[in-house]
Amino acid sequence: MYLYSLTLQQATGIVCAANGNFTGTKTQEIVVARGKVLDLLRPDDNGKIQTILSVEVFGAIRSLAQFRLTGASKDYIVVGSDSGRIVILEYNKLKNCFDKIHQETFGKSGCRRIVPGQYIAVDPKGRAVMIAACEKQKLVYVLNRDSSARLTISSPLEAHKSHTIVYSIAGVDCGFDNPVFAAIELDYIEADQDSTGVSANEAQKHLTFYELDLGLNHVSRKWSEPIDNGANMLVTVPGGADGPSGILVCAENFVIYKNQGHPDVRAVIPRRADLPAERGVLIVSAATHRHKSMFFFLLQTEYGDVFKCTLEHDNDRVTELKIKYFDTIPVTVSMCVLKTGFLFAASEFGNHGLYQFRAIGDDADVESSSATLMETEEGFQPVFFQPRGFKNLMRIDQVESLMPIMDMKVTNLFEEETPQIFTLCGRGPRSSLRILRPGLAVSEMAVSQLPGIPNAVWTVKKNINDEFDAYIVVSFTSATLVLSIGETVEEVNDSGFLDTTPSLSVSLLGDDSLMQVHPNGIRHIREDGRINEWKTPGKRTIVKVGSNRAQVVIALSGGELIYFEMDITGQLMEVEKHEMSGDVACLDIAPVPEGRQRSRFLAVGSYDNTIRILSLDPDDCMQILSVQSVSSPPESLLLLEVQASVGGEDGADHPASVFLNAGLQNGVLFRTVVDMVTGQLSDTRSRFLGLRAPKLFSALVRGRRAMLCLSSRPWLGYIHQGHFLLTPLSYETLEYAASFSSDQCSEGVVSVAGDALRVFTIERLGETFNETVIPLRYTPRKFVLHPKRKLLIVIESDQGAFSADEREAARKECLEAAGGEENGNGNMEQMENGGDDDPLSDEQYGYPKGESEKWASCIRIFEPRTTSTTCLLELQENEAAFSVCTVNFHDKEYGTLLAVGTAKALKFWPKRSFAAGYIHIYRFIEDGKSLQLLHKTEVDGIPLALCQFQGRLLAGIGPVLRLYDLGKRKLLRKCENKLFPNTIISIHTYRDRIYVGDIQESFHYCKYRRDENQLYVFADDSVPRWLTASYHIDFDTMAGADKFGNVYFMRLPQDISDEVEEDPTGGKIKWEQGKLNGAPNKVEEIVQFHVGDVVTCMQKTSLIPGGGECLIYGTVMGCIGALLAFTSREDVDFFSHLEMHMRQEHPPLCGRDHIAYRSAYFPVKDVIDGDLCEQFPTLPPDLQKKIADELDRTPGEILKKLEDIRNKII
């Protein structure tokens, strides 16, 4: 079995971010690392975050920094990854890609203890960069310019110190003196040599300054001083002319200013009043704002509170350090303060935010200062505060993030054309259930009713130079309605259009005249109001029209084509006639190319299943250049230019090819390349779009022509980062559409459907899925589907949180204390949605922290059709739900029951412990909308896996697999097997086989013998795998994923499988000797692939009707990917060769070897990396040609292959 791996949705979580001017203009950009993807983002003028570039780097990005050479206007990016290399990137605006300026190897690849890459710090003046590992190694590279102003990099200078752990590094701003780097270090040599553990407890962290002597080209340890043992992060303090220089050390509960030869200035970080006393406050992210002579720091704590930190200084002496409460936003991994007054907050889980500064915290607020620091016998006196609503920030945009996907199911609950993906995302109060549908999100601007059922709509400008459209023209069966676009849209009669007849086409002709084609003629309305009419000869009527700004072709009934062209005076002149063999089904002319007088090709579709290309050149006018036969009569044609390759931020510098698109009556969209010179058709592609014949219209997307296809649902064909994408829109069936541009919406679409006129815009281009978000209360763990009633049952649980009642009580108390003006109506709705009027929404502030063995948990029944929660059971007494399944016991007394496995007072540190484990059995009442507890059975472990099996319940309780039957007052043990190695976390069953997944030891294949009432393991895996997700593929095969980011398939060899099945007494497997401390038989690994992200859920399904079955997976970073099985050997050969060439010709951006990355833990086996293959269109054309030649194909054919295989998946 060979699989094709393709990422459907890139990871949405962010690992780290840096901001700067990467394009070299004044605009501020943000570069973000999303694990294995590097993205360049930019907030546009409307305050929406736009993705400019997204590159998969096939490596784990761990740190990012930006730097600028003195006097330059453009920032470079330094990337620390797992490649054992330092990579410096520059954004190339013309080609819209990252150029690798330097790549220097310094060590082995992989995230190792002593190989640098974990931390990066740059000198604030851009003269040097330090890259460090968690332990021992630090390397400094000197950055400079050569004579032609190119960036140069030196050989590495070592600043190693063995037996030292590094917590953080930062550059020290010391103007143009020698660059200095600071590091928090901990020396463990003594702790290692002393076995009593005394020195380990006395180990002391130090702040060390490393100086790079630019003259001697040498790094030396300049200064080292003990610091607070809770230190975890360093922040550079501006120096030189801007500030006092030095460093801010963020430690648990404190922020300390330090500099060489300067006394410590220390202030406490204010604590939330409700924080348990044993919990510290740690700063997790920091940002610096510098503005002329002023600077301040924003520091965010692990609870989400942002503090503004300022330094009072007198030249180089810092007199006071102040920490003032600023605002609270969800916990971030990185904050970027943009010069334009925005704050980009990359959340660690859930949606990222873009905030605007309304103030910079100058008002009075809770503040701690070094001047008022009080030291008592118990330590420093804490400062308390109460979080409040936004005062200084205002959220203006958010970027959707699925991180983390906890569970996922693909099913068609809404009975739509394609199945929906239900995902459980997020954590704590920000968790949600998201329903994903393949397609682009649409935002509806207006819907208005029309007096009849329209059949067509057009928009038209009055002048070619106008920015916006002037009229919307709607055609009915016997009339035409003209609406003028202004402040409002209203009917007008003075437009010159004939309103007593239906229209066939309305468009702008020449620079400033309008044309209306109706069944009996052409009406040409000149700019000065003169009207020229051309009447059809005899009783013939016009049936089809094709036109652009200078040319018009009409088809009369009977099959005659008449070609008109505009002359120099602006008159429409008849040029040529042509008799076709039968009626014409559709027509199209491409727009006039830039700098030309006319377009050369006319495409004509006939009812005899052919499409012809006719010439419009004066010398061979109306000659048939080529003929293409198709499977069904064409309904609609569109000639569209497509850039086959990228280039430029918005345009391509490579020759574009013209595609002839045809919507056929059988619902297929047929695309073929038109040769620009000869008009020959080649390279055909077809795709089924829906049950209705697609009608094609041109629209504008980001200023370029795109294609709207209206079948049983609308589709958009457009170019995104060099790829032509054909994506469905999540909108209703439409009849007719036209592009629309007005004051309020610059790139919209106006369409008719039924008797309504609809105006909408298309959002978030480039995304594969559009999502509907339903908030949840706690971190969702798992969910199941109620098989008959189409309900979802979700279990949610949070550690260290208070239950809803306790929170409600605390909240009331707090509000009363605050003055009691607000009425404490924090009901369920508000708690989950965090409405704007809610002064303390949990979504923003997080739940108050409790002790670690406190849990809050609930079971929810959710009805997707009405998007409502019909039942929400909060578990009591510190219980938390971990597993759920529906079960039909064989006595059928109650029908379908719900089993939920819970643990009471579970604790992970210092050792896993719990008070008790339970299995709850619930009964569905009120048509499944509510739950009633039947009974609760105490078990001797935590039931992490539950599954129905032959009318009984199988439970994995710690290392025990047990079969239960339903009793009157509790579950009854029927049979058990205690021989599993660690903890059972998944159970799948098929016939009498049971596939058990162990948390550390991969899969165990078991068999249940009913006559003997015994469970035994007959096969297991020979490799320890820390299982995180599993799925049953077929009788002998399981798919699994481990904690380290690998996906694999296991199969029981056929002969063993047969033997097991043929063993009538079961005595053989039962008494067989085990091998390798396990079962007598071993399963074989048939597929192996490193995804590079922790896969948390997987399912075998098909995302499109008629598409191939593939394994869909979701990951912690919020990525959704698919593994599709190849159906032919030829495809396997083709793609493995393409992959091989891509590996050679296009090595990954951050320096990690592709094959080594995909084999990071186990050698990759029988999986072809589609993400690498899909980078083919981004290669320069000569390289594409070279690879294509090696494969005996043309680049076009390769692109078609890539498109085809993608279309099989989604």
Residues found near another protein in the complex (CB under 8 A): 13, 15, 35, 60, 62, 82, 111-114, 117-118, 133-136, 162, 165, 167, 186, 188, 191-192, 195, 197, 200, 203, 232, 282-285, 302-303, 331, 333, 348-349, 403-404, 406, 427-428, 779, 798-801, 852, 908-910, 1028, 1043-1045, 1092-1094, 1096, 1115-1117
How many CB atoms are closer than 10 A to CB 1156?
18
Nearer to another protein, 333 or 1017 (CB): 333
Nearer to another protein, 426 or 605 (CB): 426
Closest CB 162 distance from another protein, rounded Å: 7
Closest CB 8 distance from another protein, rounded Å: 17
Nearer to another protein, 819 or 910 (CB): 910
Closest CB 912 distance from another protein, rounded Å: 11
Nearer to another protein, 199 or 398 (CB): 199
Closest CB 157 distance from another protein, rounded Å: 17
Nearer to another protein, 38 or 60 (CB): 60
What residues have CB less than 8 Å from 706, skipping those under 6 apart?
640, 698, 699, 700, 716, 717, 718, 719
Per DSSP, helices labelled H in 609-662 are none
Nearer to another protein, 110 or 1147 (CB): 110
Nearer to another protein, 665 or 1028 (CB): 1028
Residue 816's SS3 state is helix
CA angle 189, 194, 195 (to 5 degrees): 130
Closest CB 404 distance from another protein, rounded Å: 6
Beta bridge partners of 938: 918
Nearer to another protein, 633 or 846 (CB): 846
Residue 569's SS3 state is coil
Closest CB 944 distance from another protein, rounded Å: 12
CA-to-CA distance for 1210 and 1208, rounded, in angstroms?
6
Nearer to another protein, 200 or 818 (CB): 200
Nearer to another protein, 196 or 449 (CB): 196
Closest Cα to residue 295, out of 366, 233, 241? 241
Nearer to another protein, 190 or 965 (CB): 190
Closest CB 427 distance from another protein, rounded Å: 6
CA-to-CA distance for 790 and 690, rounded, in angstroms?
26
Indicate left, alpha or beta for 529 from its phi (over 0: left) and psi (-120 to 50: alpha). left
Q: Which amino acid is at 821?
A: E
Q: What share of the chain is helix, strand, coil (3-state, %, to 5)?
A: 10, 50, 40
Residue 789 tokens read as: 């009633």
CA angle 671, 677, 683 (to 5 degrees): 25
What residues have CB less than 8 Å from 201, skipping those under 6 apart?
none
Closest CB 119 distance from another protein, rounded Å: 10
Closest CB 203 distance from another protein, rounded Å: 5
Per-residue H/E/C for 219-254: EEEEEEEECCCCEEEEEECCCCCCCCCCEEEEECCE
Nearer to another protein, 180 or 406 (CB): 406
Phi, psi of 1084 (to 5 degrees): -105, 145
Phi, psi of 460 (to 5 degrees): -145, 145
Closest CB 833 distance from another protein, rounded Å: 22
Q: What is the DSSP letter of 694?
A: P
Closest CB 941 distance from another protein, rounded Å: 17
Helix (H) or strand (E) holding 1189: helix 1181-1190
Nearer to another protein, 849 or 1082 (CB): 849
Residue 956's SS3 state is strand
Closest CB 134 distance from another protein, rounded Å: 5
Closest CB 1097 distance from another protein, rounded Å: 13
Closest CB 81 distance from another protein, rounded Å: 10
Closest CB 268 distance from another protein, rounded Å: 18
Nearer to another protein, 167 or 390 (CB): 167
Residue 731 tokens read as: 């909108």
CA-to-CA distance for 788 and 407, rounded, in angstroms?
21
Nearer to another protein, 134 or 955 (CB): 134
Closest CB 253 distance from another protein, rounded Å: 13
CA-to-CA distance for 1134 and 1142, rounded, in angstroms?
12
Nearer to another protein, 917 or 1080 (CB): 917
Q: What is the DSSP letter of 1066?
A: S
Phi, psi of 504 (to 5 degrees): -105, -30
What residues have CB less than 8 Å from 619, skipping those under 6 apart?
none
Q: What is the DSSP letter of 193?
A: H
What residues have CB less than 8 Å from 580, skipping those under 6 apart?
555, 559, 560, 561, 604, 606
Nearer to another protein, 233 or 716 (CB): 233
Nearer to another protein, 161 or 1082 (CB): 161
Beta strand segments in 597-703, E = 601-606, 610-615, 624-629, 634-643, 656-664, 668-674, 681-688, 695-701
- Dump the DSSP string for 988-1033: EEETTEEEEEETTTEEEEEEEETTTTEEEEEEE-SS---EEEEEEE
The packing angle between helices 1129-1145 and 1181-1190, to 10°, is 140
Closest CB 802 distance from another protein, rounded Å: 12
Chain centre to alpha carbon of residue 1132: 28
Closest CB 61 distance from another protein, rounded Å: 8
CA-to-CA distance for 306 and 331, rounded, in angstroms?
9
Residue 539's SS3 state is coil
